[in-house]
């Protein structure tokens, strides 16, 4: 397939540095939107309008609380996305086109962002409504109940997604090449996971980036291989990528990730409960149940999740290293893994060796340099052993 171009470290470093700055400013803009909404008391008029029929009541009807929290969630979602738009546009459109990571036209990107805003609005509305319903019913232990419900919803959506959501979003189909399909089927049987279905995933984001993912839980598990990966990579490389994804299934990484996310979410809600309990009078709130406190809840919970990013990234990097080792064990093809990593790094402008601080807070995968070195080391040991 020819030589693999080396990663242009200078170019990739510039790209990621600019992108991190832009995304950091986007987060700051989102926090500013929450702060402005709180300082300007944007949500109180909305709350009073919806709760007007129960004005003066200490315990308004639950349906009113649900309606008020849903409207508050919608208002905050729109405000946050508008504040962040300039920085998101720069990082995800301007930079990606400048560095040839994406080929999306402006019109397509705009429609995609508008659709994303719609999804954000639905998520914010449903999340706010669910949380304040729980707060209304269990004002003391709501954060524990919310954590348990978050786990149940995450498990349900992860399990049902490959059956209900993905087929409607993507035209998933069996791999067209019979020889490759037979080879991957043999691989899944060899490692003892014949129930995992492998599907071709049409990429629609205007990029040529290869991608692979393990989705679902239990009987709904599927490995998705992007059409860009299937078109541009050798069968050996595709096999080692598939083995890497199978490792996540074998080691139950999905369950570990769900448990970690559930713990982080519960801790974030618990911290928000304490802060709201202490500061409600200072913000002019009637208490934890006050829907106008949604910006405080969002800022505190978001801050906790950001602070715990190193923990989540550490778990993810550990899973990825183990998946690389497993792929080498079952394929015995370190050259294919090394060439895949180099090719992927060149196409995605991956940083060869990011700083330790960047790795802690931003990297869910080990650095390209570390992964490539591990694969090459395995190749050297294989030759020596032979």
Stretch 319-329: mean pLDDT: 95
- Whether 207 shows a pLDDT value over 60: the answer reads no
pLDDT of residue 211: 86
- Whether 80 shows a pLDDT value over 50: the answer reads yes
Range(s) for CATH 3.30.2010.10 in the chain? 170-250+313-385
Taking only the tens place, the pLDDT of each residue in 257-300 is: 999 999 999 999 999 999 999 988 888 888 888 888 899 999 99
Between 222 and 63, whose confidence is greater? 222
pLDDT of residue 55: 44
pLDDT of residue 330: 93
Stretch 239-251: mean pLDDT: 94
CATH topology of domain 170-250+313-385: Zincin-like (3.30.2010)
Helix/strand/coil (H, E, C) string of the chain? CCCCCCCCHHHHHHHHHHHHHHHHHHHHHHHHHHHHHHHCCCHHHHHHHHCHHHCCCCCCCHHHHHHHHHHHHHHHHHHHHHHHHHHHHHHHHHHHHHCCCCCCCHHHHHHHHHHHHHHHHHHHHHHHHHHHHHHHHCCCCHHHHHHHHHHHHHHHHHHHHHHHCHHHHCCCEECCCHHHHHHHHHHHHHCCCCCCEEEEECCCCCCCCCCEEEECCHHHCEEEEEHHHHHHCCHHHHHHHHHHHHHHHHCCHHHHHHHHHHHHHHHHHHHHHHHHHHHCCCCCCCCCCCHHHHHHHHHHHHHHHHHCHHHHHHHHHHHHHHHHHHHHHHHCCHHHHHHHHHHHHHHHCCCCCCCHHHHHHHCCCCCHHHHHHHHHHHHHHHHHHC
Query: Where residue 242 falls among pLDDT bands split at 50, 70, 90?
Result: very high
Stretch 338-360: mean pLDDT: 85
- Whether 172 shows a pLDDT value over 50: the answer reads yes
pLDDT of residue 381: 47
pLDDT of residue 12: 77
In this predicted structure, which of 32-46, 51-65, 87-101, 231-245 has the lowest mean pLDDT? 51-65
With pLDDT > 70 as the criterion, what percentage of the chain qualifies? 90
């Amino acid at each position: 397939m020819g030589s693999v171009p080396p990663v242009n470290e200078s170019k990739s470093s510039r790209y990621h540095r600019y992108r991190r700055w832009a995304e950091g400013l986007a987060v700051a803009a989102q926090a500013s939107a929450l702060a402005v909404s709180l300082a300007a008391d944007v949500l109180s008029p909305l709350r009073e309008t919806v709760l007007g029929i129960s004005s003066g009541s200490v315990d308004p009807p639950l349906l009113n609380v649900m309606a008020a929290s849903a409207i508050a969630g919608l208002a905050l979602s729109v405000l946050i996305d508008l504040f962040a738009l300039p920085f998101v546009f720069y990082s995800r459109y301007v930079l990606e086109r400048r560095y040839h990571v994406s080929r999306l036209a402006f019109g397509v990107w705009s429609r995609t962002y508008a659709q994303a805003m719609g999804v954000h609005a639905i998520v914010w509305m449903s999340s706010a409504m669910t949380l304040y319903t729980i707060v209304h019913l269990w004002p003391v232990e709501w954060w524990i109940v919310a954590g348990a419900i978050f786990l149940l919803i995450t498990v349900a959506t992860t399990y049902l997604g490959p059956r209900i959501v993905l087929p409607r979003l993507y035209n998933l189909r069996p791999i067209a090449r019979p020889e490759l399909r037979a080879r991957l089927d043999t691989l899944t049987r060899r490692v003892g996971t014949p129930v995992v279905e492998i599907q071709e995933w049409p990429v629609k984001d205007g990029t040529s980036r290869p991608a692979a993912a393990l989705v679902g839980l239990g009987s709904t598990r599927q490995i998705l291989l992007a059409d860009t990966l299937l078109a541009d990579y050798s069968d050996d490389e595709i096999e080692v990528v598939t083995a890497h994804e199978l490792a996540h299934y074998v080691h139950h990484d999905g369950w570990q990730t769900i448990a970690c996310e559930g713990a982080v979410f519960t801790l974030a809600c618990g911290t928000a409960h304490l802060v709201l309990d202490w500061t409600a009078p200072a913000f002019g709130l009637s208490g934890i149940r006050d829907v106008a406190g949604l910006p405080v809840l969002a800022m505190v919970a978001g801050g906790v999740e950001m602070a715990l990013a190193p923990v989540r990234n550490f778990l993810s990097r550990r899973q990825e290293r183990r998946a690389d080792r497993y792929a080498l064990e079952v394929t015995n093809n370190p050259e294919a893994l090394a060439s895949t990593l180099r090719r992927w790094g060149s196409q995605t402008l991956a940083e060869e060796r990011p700083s330790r601080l960047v790795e802690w807070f931003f990297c869910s995968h080990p650095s390209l340099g570390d992964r490539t070195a591990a694969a090459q080391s395995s190749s050297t040991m294989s030759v020596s052993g032979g």
